[in-house]
Amino acid sequence: NSEDVRCKCICPPYKDHSGHIYNKNVSQKDCDCLHVVEPMPVPGPDVEAYCLRCECKYEERSSVTIKVNNVILLA
């Protein structure tokens, strides 16, 4: 399920740009700043320095398991 996977990048403040959290449904191999951060908040020469500060993590979840647990808890 495409909703059950995402890449989350947490980018701290950089120069005059505030920090931001980016989420995008991409494959695990594409889970990096260049594929997830859109639009890129910095101009071309600063992209590498900006991306090195970002922490990107691939996350998976099972929405079926979450729904079953909610039904059990509400019953």
Question: Strands, E, within 32-73: which ranges?
Answer: 55-60
Predicted TM-score of the model (pTM): 0.75
Stretch 47-73: mean pLDDT: 88
Sole residue written with tokens 């908040």: 41
pLDDT value at residue 68: 81
pLDDT value at residue 9: 97
Name the residue ranges covered by the structural domains of the chain.
5-71
The rounded distance, in Å, linking the Cα atoms of 42 and 35 is: 15
pLDDT in tens, 9-47: 999 999 999 999 999 999 999 999 999 999 999 999 999
